[in-house]
Chains A and B, each alone.
Chain A
Amino acid sequence: MIFLWMLGGIIVVSLAFFLPDQSIDLWQSLDAAGIAAVIYIVALLVYILCNPIPAKHRIILGAVALLSMIGLSTHWVGMYSTTHWQQKRILENKSLVIRGIMISDAPIKLLSVLEEYQEQGKIKKLSPGKIFLKKYPQAHIGSNVYVSPMGDESIKIFVTALSDSAIVLTASHAFAQGRTADFLPYWGRKGTIQERYILTEKGVRHESDN
């Protein structure tokens, strides 16, 4: 009988383990196997705790089993929730830092163009676009104007529109995740961060694309 129970339990738990899609982590498999194991233990307890075990022993055994299952389940669920929360925070913090680097670079470049443009007085000889090209002679649509002080190649700030009246800088990151996983950025992996800064003579507008 014991071997039949064991065999049944092993089959049920193994099937449950391999039932979910095998993704990059094994939480789904572990959870499915855990739930199957709990159902198995409950069934086993019901079988074992019926006669001939004395009532007093039944209560003690049942209580110990229940407490152990509560303890292990709490630990299991707590570990799942904490590590997933930590994972989310690590990725979000990375994104915040990247957005911080982007906002401290791209709009400053544009505002320095605007400053020079406004300093010309009432009669403007040079348009914002011309001033931008004077400052960044190599710039053209699609070129990167960001130079990382740390030599990091994962952030790029592209010139995505350049005319006399408007300049658009699009800041992208190679892999830092943005808000929407399906977003197709100007550069980098699908779903990554993208910020846009648009300069006109009225100022700089910021649009957070992802």
Chain B
Amino acid sequence: MNQTTETPTTTKTKLGKSHTMILWIIIIVCGGILPSLVFRTYHAMHDFFLTPFPWVIEGGITINHALQMVSGKIPEAPTLTLQLSFLVSVVIMLVIAPTLFLFGVRQRAIERNSGKEFHIFRWSSAYLVLGGIVIIGPMTQSIPISIIQLQVSSSLREGQAKVENKDNIFYEMNTIALRLYEYRVLPKEYGGGNGSMAGFTLPKELSTTREAQYTVEIQDSLVAVKATSVKYPQGIITARINTKGKFLEWKYSEFFE
């Protein structure tokens, strides 16, 4: 009697498991792989795209606009396809997927509390898996990616500040070269050197600026100008200038090379 009752139950469980597996494969294909293939194909044909991080794409567009402006082009307004790509990405990432996932969690809790028979395949599992496929990746990446982003940003700002300091020093040294030329040309009555560089002193506003401290050394018909960065004291630039305010030679400390 026992043997006759046990055999059909085992067969039913085996059939149930294979049925569940097929359904899971269908869910994964329909929920994850199929939409991905459809969007990839569509993207290849049109400009439409989906991204978990639309702000990264927009960041790239912002930089691209700057480069266009630098070369004299006026950036174009975003296309409707681009706007829709962003909107659909945000909706999928921050509305549809979290809703599916969280409702899946809630539904499973309700089912567990109801005391009904436990089925592996049910709507709550489908919600959980479909939502999970979309949000698990970006969720797990969110903290590391934001830390990396902060580090990259900090390193960019540091590098840029150095380049900017160097460029500003170049500009100020150009101003000094002009003052020297002007000094040599002007007669004494106008505060000049009357044909000579001797006696030239840097005006206060040029000897120390926000960027650097400057010193001038007259050597025969040439002038050596030395700039020591205020922001980076290890950054030193020296240049030799002729009597017509033209730069003949530049030297940089290791920090500025």
Residues of A within 8 A of B (CB): 1-2, 5-6, 9-10, 13-14, 17, 22-27, 29-30, 33-34, 37-38, 40-41, 44-45, 48, 52-54, 57, 61, 64, 67-68, 70-72, 74-76, 78-87, 89-94, 96-97, 99-100, 103-104, 107-108, 111-112, 114-115, 118, 154, 174-177, 201-204, 206
Contact = CB atoms under 8 A, between A and B. Distances in A.
Which among B82, B105, B185, B187 has the highest number of chain A CB atoms within 10 Å?
A: B185
Interface in B164-205: 164, 167-168, 170-171, 174-175, 178, 181-182, 185-187, 190, 192
Q: Which of the four size classes fits the interface of chain B? A: 35 or more
B62 A25 contact: yes
B75 to A, nearest CB: 5
Nearest 9 Cβ contacts at the A-B interface: A71-B142, A37-B94, A9-B95, A83-B59, A74-B146, A87-B66, A71-B143, A75-B146, A83-B62
Contact of B78 (A26, A38, A64, A177): A26
Nearest to A12: B95
A124 B1 CA distance: 134
Interface in B49-104: 53-56, 58-63, 65-67, 69-70, 72, 75-78, 82-83, 86-87, 90-91, 94-96, 98-100, 102-103
B9 interface: no
A175 B170 CA distance: 22
B62 A84 contact: yes
B62 A13 contact: no
A97 B83 contact: no
A17 B90 contact: yes
Contacts, number: 221
Contacts of A10: 91, 95-96
B110 interface: yes
B127 interface: yes
B29 interface: no
Contact of B67 (A78, A80, A82, A90): A90
Contacts of B149: 74-75, 78-79, 82
A26 B61 contact: yes
Given A71-B143, A108-B245, A177-B69, A83 B99 contact: no
Contacts of B90: 13, 17, 30, 33-34, 37
Contacts of A52: 106, 109-110, 113
B120 interface: no
Main secondary structure of the interface of A (DSSP, over half): helix
B113 to A, nearest CB: 5
B223 to A, nearest CB: 15
Contacts of B168: 96
Contacts of B102: 44-45, 48, 61
A84 B90 CA distance: 21
Contact of B65 (A25, A30, A80, A118): A25
A71 B178 CA distance: 52
A26 B83 contact: yes
A24 B76 CA distance: 6
Given A25-B65, A48-B102, A82-B59, A91 B70 contact: yes
Contacts of A103: 171, 174-175, 178
A161 to B, nearest CB: 19
B150 A27 contact: no
